[in-house]
Structure 1
Amino acid sequence: MKKTNYSYIGIAFIILVFGIIFIPKIIDRISNDDISRHESRSNQQKEQGSKTSDLVFITSNGENRKVPNFSFVDQHGKTITNKDYEGKVYVIEFFFTSCPTICPRMNKNLIHIQNEFIDFEDFGVASFSINPDYDTPEVLKAYAEKYGVTNPNWHLMTGDKETIYKLSNEGFYIYAAANPDVEGGFEHSGNFALIDKNGFIRSRVVNGNPIIYYNGITSESEKTDEDGKSEEISALKEDIKKLLSE
């Protein structure tokens, strides 16, 4: 009977010593492994977030073209600069509120794009009026409400006419000009430019060449324009997603 008691006491003593020596090491090892796995997952997520998509940079004279510095007043009377768009993917257009031709179609397409990316705080639109004498902040605000602009990063901007034209024609090579002989009194391109989070102009490559700009006039539902060219709004949406993931 005493032998049996001594045996139990001996076994209990061995278990106690084992626990004191080895259990802390096991716990420490498990903790370190968890940290390693956590760090591994975090690093993987960072790597995925920093991957560059297949969208190319638009170059000029061997340098990647970046959005020029600008400063205008938006529909809320707030001064907006290119720095307000830093860290955001955004689309650029040139338009005017009294445009009777392509602008309504362009902005309806932008509304569809806005609504598709409604949950993305780092997506925006920059709309520059080429008729700033008429397009005051009050007029721009009414226009925004009419079309359903809700994205806080969608700024409809007005300012000095010559500065806006220089930004359009020289900064983006998107044509804009006053012309009393055309309907509405102004003529301009219906193209959109796509800008990445670092302010660079980006686009997809088609048949070995960057398209540079996206046709903003033809809607997804129309499929093609009057010349049979395919719409590019769906492509623009796909490419916005790519840049948001960079």
Structure 2
Amino acid sequence: MKKNNYSYIGIAFIILLFGIIFIPKIVNRIKSDKVVDNTGRSEQIAKPTEDEKKAKALSFIEINGQRKKVPNFSFTNQDGKTITQKDYLGKVYVVDFFFTTCPTICPRMSKNLVEIQELYKENSNFGIASFSIMPATDTPEILKDYAENYGITHPNWHLLTGEQEKIHQLANTGFNIYVGEVEDGALGFAHSGDFALIDKNGYIRSRTDAFGNPKIFYKGIISEQEKMDEDGNAQEISMLKEDIRILLEE
């Protein structure tokens, strides 16, 4: 017998041995559904989508085990209409506190909100509530002019005025957004530049920090274009836009 024939016989023997030993094992694994394609459906089901990850991060603000809800309020908007918290039920909305003659942070906040407005201008389930902390001078007529100057057109964006004490109380205890009268503030007033995000049922929602605690607010002063302020704080308008979309889809 030639040498090549011995080689063929050896290869055939190895193939036969492989079939006897391994093929039954492969068949058994298939029957028991233990063969998993890492690029197939099993892996896709196991991994949540990016939206699911973000949705889980939108926590409720809880105080003494109770989810914090927007308290009752009733104020007058730029069109002279009475607006209450009930007008926002079923809508996802952003809350801020400002005044029309503010020379510092308010113009920047309003511009960022107008940008958000444009993103959701066709969505009737979106809204914004801007409360004036200087209502004595911010009459409906003044608020109307402010709205026109900034391009505020969304029908669910209400610029609200009323009794100063009630608005300040709403800010400080209802939303935990600082508002106050101070001697060294702009025109005697000071306030936070943060935005609050409210879901369709009137609950305050936010992402969580690295420790799992709700962040509560979104920085409203830094624009997407600026990316970061002089203190190294990153902009959160992009984050807010994404989280509005998540709540609208709930």
- TM-score range normalised by the length of the shorter chain: 0.7 to 0.9
Residue in structure 2 matched with residue 138 of structure 1 by the alignment:
141
Note if 1:214 corresponds to 2:218.
yes
Tell me how far apart the structure 2 counterparts of residues 151 and 225 of structure 1 sit (CA, whole Å).
Answer: 29
Tell whether 2:245 aligns with 1:237. Answer: no
Which residue of the other structure, out of 227, 231, 237, is the alignment partner of 2:231?
227
Correspondence 1:91 to 2:91: no
Unaligned runs of 5+ in 2: 1-51
Distance of 1:165 and 1:205 partners within structure 2: 26
Partner of residue 57 from structure 1, selected from 60, 79, 86 = 60
Match of 2:194 in 1: 191
Aligned residues: 196
- The CA RMSD measured in Å over matched residues stands at 1.2
Amino acid at match of 1:53: A
Give 1:53 shift.
2.8
State percent identity of aligned pairs: 62
Query: Structure 1 stretches of 5 or more lacking a match?
Result: 1-50
TM-score (normalizing by structure 2): 0.77
Q: Which amino acid aligns with 1:218?
A: I
Work out which of the residue numbers 163, 170, 173 in structure 1 matches 2:173: 170
**Partner in structure 1 of residue 18 of structure 2:** none
The code of the aligned residue for 1:143 comes to Y
Match of 1:6 in 2: none
Opposite residue 244 of structure 2, the aligned amino acid is I
Q: CA deviation at 1:178?
A: 1.6
Structure 2 counterpart of 1:150: 153
Any residues of structure 2 matched to 1:38-53 within 5 Å, and which? 53=55
Q: How far did 1:226 drift?
A: 1.2
Q: CA deviation at 1:117?
A: 0.7
| Alpha-carbon distance in 1 for matches of 2:70, 2:180 | 20
- The alignment's TM-score, normalised by the length of structure 1, stands at 0.78
Per-residue deviation at 1:173? Answer: 0.8
2:75 aligned to which of 72, 76, 79: 72
